[in-house]
């Protein structure tokens, strides 16, 4: 999260108690900020936080800009080792 903030990205993570009780996708992850350019915010809803983070970080990595450092957090091998 620190690296994202330093890169000009605001990160919002929400765990919704009502959706949790319903057994639906309780996690919302949003990336926003000027560093995202004209394409704007990236948002996902997920049943677990690691999947939600991988989703938004993977989508950010695909955007224009120097996001190559995100592979540290989005690679399947790294995710499996946690």
pLDDT tens digits, residue range 33-68? 999 989 999 999 999 999 999 999 999 999 998 898
Q: Residue 67: give the domain boundaries.
A: 2-80
Total structural domains in the chain?
A: 1
Please tell me the distance from the alpha carbon of residue 22 to that of residue 42, in angstroms, as a whole number: 25
Quote the tokens at residue 57: 């970080």
pTM listed for this prediction: 0.82
Residue 12 burial (10 A CB sphere; 0-12, 13-18, 19+):
exposed
Q: Is pLDDT larger for residue 52 or for residue 77?
A: 52
């Amino acid at each position: 999260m620190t690296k994202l903030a330093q890169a000009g990205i605001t990160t919002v993570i929400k765990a919704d108690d009502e959706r949790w009780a319903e057994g639906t996708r309780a996690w919302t992850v949003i990336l926003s900020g000027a560093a995202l350019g004209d394409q704007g915010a990236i948002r996902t809803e997920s049943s677990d936080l690691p999947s939600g983070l991988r989703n938004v970080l993977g989508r950010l990595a695909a955007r224009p800009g120097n996001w190559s450092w995100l592979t540290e957090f989005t690679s399947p091998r790294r995710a499996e080792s946690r």
